[in-house]
Structure 1
Amino acid sequence: MPSTTAAQPVRTATPEPPVASRLLLPLIALCTAVTAANIYLAAPLLPLIAHDFGSTPSAVAWIASVAQFGYAAGLLFFAPLGDSVNRRRLVAVLSLVTAAALAVGATAAGTIALAAAVLVASAATVVPQLLVPLVAARAPADRRARHVAAVISGLFTGIVAARVLGGLVGQAFGWRTAFVGAAALTAVLGLATALVLPAETPRRQGSLFSGLAAMPSVVRHSPDLWRACVRQAGMYGAWSALWTSLALLLTGESYGLSTATAGLFGLFGLTASAVAPLAGQLVDRFGAAKVVRSAYLLAAVSVPLFWLGGHMIAALFAAAIAVHAALVASHVANQTLALTTTSTPATANSAYVVAGFAGGASASALAGLAFGHWGWGGVCAVAGLWLVLGWGTTAVRRRG
């Protein structure tokens, strides 16, 4: 195992009640679904937000990117604390902060105020990445990827819910109601999850944010972690460019769908939830590298299908299934690797997810600009570029 310069905290755990133990993994998966939905809540509501503020959908598309940048920032500052502080208290506090920010966003009078609320909510909604190292640590070694996959399945279910339910609720009651509903769910699920977490008495070593300071060293000393970070940044960037811009295509001139109908398209994202358990089994059996390689090939096929989908709905259906299957298979493999390659799993996991969301945020921001200038073809070009960068960069680096 690669050595790192980060100090490994000492934890003691008291046995949790049997009921809490049985509830732990399902509740973490459900909490993950709700919190992940917050990051993507604005994307299917962009046409409604634009109409409310007297703007155009492409002019407010940057709000979706703000959510991803906020999440990446939260991962930098909060997720590494999983190695050094009490998770129960941190999960409860962050859940309440997220809920409050979403509630404030529901009252926003303009795009700047809304973006600020989305930024805070996304930065605080890092609860899943505090919990997934706990899941990996408690899982049997030969089933670790499958346990991680269960949480990832919840994550993608939340993404689907954000697009489908967000679009339906927004169309029926307005985008502000969707924000209020998300705030309530976040508070309830976050506090419930905190209650069933195993009791821990961490002994903090170093400063409160020592995990953040150690992150560059952790990545530098683990080539496997570095590759996982870069490859997932490329994969997530490609997916994010396509998925955050999809509402603009579906509600635009090419298809002219309503926000609610376009939101139903997100049901194809259930592919990810179905693929995650299978991906976990494949990683446990064949290893992460082979699964990631296959995922990249599948994603590469999906990009031209998305381009055809600009005018052919059947191609768009096939592309949506393919890109979700590729993303989740890559994510299960890369995150399992990130959680097991160093002695500080929370810090390593934070570096991994920050890299992924930074790739996603930058790609979706560029995709919004590309859509405004070159239409859907520009979005597909951004997705293809991110795949080339993600694989090409790691393919030429010497293995450590």
Structure 2
Amino acid sequence: MSSPAATTGTTPDGEMSRGPHQKNRSGRSDRSGRRSDRSGRSLRARLFLPLITVCTAVTAANIYLAAPLLSLIAHDFGSTPSAVAWLASVAQLGYAAGLLFFAPLGDSVNRRRLVAVLALVAAAALVAGALSGGTAALAGAVLVASAATVVPQLLVPLVAERAPADRRASHVAAVIGGLFTGVVAARVVGGLIGQAYGWRVVFLGAAVLTALLGLATAYVLPAERRRREGPLFAGLAALPRVVRRSPDLWRACVRQAGMYGAWSAVWTSLALLLTGDGYDLSTAAAGLFGLFGLTASAVAPVAGGLVDRFGAAKVVRSAYLLAAVSVPLFWLGGHVMAALCAAAVLVHAALVASHVANQTLALTTTSTPATANTAYVVAGFAGGALASALAGPAFGHWGWGGVCAVAGAWLVLGWSVTVVRKR
């Protein structure tokens, strides 16, 4: 005769399970409990993509939080906007560093726990930034907050992994659309709130949203039990090898670095142009210009469908053509508002189309998607950070024309280097 232990087992969560018809201590069947578990899993499945998209928007906004507030920050610290423009580069470099160290962990550790921890760290750093008393302290807080704001890039490989093969680019595009919505919100909403209540309130509000949405997203992620092999940061050490063995991944990295650098040069410097002598707009009015960034959110699902139908290469070529047209329009926009508006629409359409195509390629070209995605996004943000760092001094020495020259140079480099190696 079997013992009572023979009718029980251990669930994947390590809890003792009862036999199929065994009752619990209250004498009731466990069927209602199982129905409740299925209901909870169903709710998580329904919330999975929408919540990830919203969380991506909020966390991505943190990287660009300082850009529309430069004039307010400079006034608060008794400086000039061009003298604190380097804060935008600090944010992008911090994000690139966070990607380098944390994003590869998506292949080896529990993403649910990692997302929750990083969201809380980013929120704490934003609070510290709001309380800072000088540019050095603010830069340190922005660096830490941006480094911890890698949640979107931990989630994109998971979205691609769970999506149907024929709709993978469309699902990735939904998350990318959320990312660019966050970029727009950082400029528009951040500019309006900053003008009304001060830049510190913007940082505090971002901290609250980051913590709440980060924890909510961690809740809906599927449970993962991974057995890590080797050092914790083995994915970081594998990055050069992964890129070297995949020409498609290398090409995606370089082309997106060129595209993102061109966009970053003009977009992070735009507040300097709009609030300067040429247009003399307020911070709030300059922030409203970011509404043109909604082009990216509208283009993302279209770009995803085009990639699924025609392939990544054709979409990237078309995106580079759009960006090339936008650069002279940006230069003309130094004096003509209509040209500036048209250029903003074109450059956002180009950036998001290129991003959807290149990131889909990066996620599907190797057997380690989180590591490949890390290489791709780090390359893009490194290109963007370097372009931003050059755009500030270029604006100080040569005005808006110098910024447009930096953007054009990045597009030429991003395309020509990959064409030469391909041949």
- SS class of match (1:101): helix
Give 1:285 deviation, angstroms: 0.1
Within-5 A mapping of 1:252-291: 252-291=276-315
Give 1:205 deviation, angstroms: 1.4
Residues 1:160 and 2:184 are matched in the alignment: yes
Which residue, out of 251, 260, 265, partners 1:236?
260
The one-character-per-residue Cα deviations of 1:266-303 (angstroms, maximum 9, x if unpaired) are: 00000000000000000000000000000000000000
Runs of 4+ with deviation above 4 angstroms? 12-16
Residues 1:197 and 2:221 are matched in the alignment: yes
Cα distance between partner residues in 1 of 2:190 and 2:419: 39
- SS class of match (2:56): helix
- Kindly report the root-mean-square deviation, in angstroms, between the aligned alpha carbons of the 2 structures: 1.2
Cα distance between partner residues in 1 of 2:49 and 2:363: 17
Give 1:384 deviation, angstroms: 0.1
Cα distance between partner residues in 2 of 1:369 and 1:18: 53
Residues 1:147 and 2:171 are matched in the alignment: yes
Cα distance between partner residues in 1 of 2:41 and 2:65: 35
Cα distance between partner residues in 1 of 2:283 and 2:384: 23
What residue in structure 1 maps to residue 241 of structure 2? 217
The one-character-per-residue Cα deviations of 1:53-91 (angstroms, maximum 9, x if unpaired) are: 000000000001000000000000000000000000000
Which residue, out of 380, 383, 395, partners 2:407?
383
What residue in structure 2 maps to residue 88 of structure 1? 112
What residue in structure 2 maps to residue 315 of structure 1? 339
Residues 1:38 and 2:62 are matched in the alignment: yes
The one-letter code sitting in structure 2 at the alignment partner of 1:221 is R
Residues 1:350 and 2:374 are matched in the alignment: yes
Cα distance between partner residues in 1 of 2:392 and 2:381: 16
Residues 1:137 and 2:161 are matched in the alignment: yes
The one-letter code sitting in structure 1 at the alignment partner of 2:59 is T
Give 1:203 deviation, angstroms: 1.3
Cα distance between partner residues in 1 of 2:158 and 2:229: 19
Cα distance between partner residues in 2 of 1:83 and 1:368: 37
What residue in structure 1 maps to residue 23 of structure 2? none
- SS class of match (2:422): coil
- Kindly indicate whether structure 1 or structure 2 has the higher relative contact order, using CA contacts under 8 Å at least 6 residues apart: 1
Which one has a bigger Cα radius of gyration? Answer: 2
What residue in structure 2 maps to residue 18 of structure 1? 42
Residues 1:360 and 2:360 are matched in the alignment: no
* TM-score using structure 2 length: 0.91
The one-letter code sitting in structure 2 at the alignment partner of 1:49 is I
5+ residue gaps, structure 2: 1-11, 14-36
- SS class of match (1:166): helix
- SS class of match (2:367): coil
The one-letter code sitting in structure 1 at the alignment partner of 2:99 is L
Cα distance between partner residues in 2 of 1:398 and 1:60: 40
- SS class of match (2:230): coil
Give 1:398 deviation, angstroms: 3.0
